Amino acid sequence: MISAIILASGFSNRMGENKLLLPYRDKPIIEHVIDVVLSCNFNDIVLICKDSYVLNLGKRKGIKTIINKSSEKGQSEAVKLGIKDSITSSGYMFFTGDQPLIQAELIKLLLVKFEENKDLIIIPKYNYRRGSPVIFPNKYKEELLKLEGDIGGRAVINNHKNEIAFVDITDKYFFFDVDTPEDYETLLTII
């Protein structure tokens, strides 16, 4: 089984306010991500956050929720916390909290690909663009725990370019993330 780790402890610098709390279809952006992850079959779910609202939301949803007290060190700290606080699994699937348009059906495609390729990093791709969520097999756990700075799992991916399986995604909005006020305005126009 796979552990889901939701990374939600960034600073939203380009947005100017906490983008995860912005409303979209009657609930905060982060809640869309949590709800989709909850609808899939994971070994466990860990939410890494720095905001009390997100912390309480995760607790209300019944998922393990951890405060990232070192979020200023970058995304690597959230990755490490997520792994350390999850159940030992055959893999770890990392979600970002700012992708409210991810879909359970497409997440399940990634999970099926992992079941068929348990030693490979599973990455979704639309046309030639890679995105997240990404699944890392347990064999990369120690390498992920050594990450530093604001790079997330990219360094591990770059170190193992021949150990990747891609899943073609047909929905161009699956990767859509909200980083800027312009992104948020675009999100509000997507049906």
For the segment 53-64, the average pLDDT, to the nearest whole number, is 96
Alpha helices in the chain (DSSP H): 29-38, 52-60, 75-84, 104-116, 141-145, 154-159, 181-189
How far is it, in rounded angstroms, from Cα 162 to Cα 104?
A: 27
Question: Could you tell me the CATH number of the domain that includes residue 82?
Answer: 3.90.550.10
Residue 191 has pLDDT above 70, yes or no: no
Which pLDDT value is given to residue 82? 96
Domain, as residue range, for 168: 2-189
Give the chain's domain count.
Answer: 1
- pLDDT, tens digit, for every residue of 147-176? 998 888 999 999 999 999 999 999 989 989
3-state secondary structure 103-139: CHHHHHHHHHHHHHCCCCEEEEEECCEECCCEEEEHH
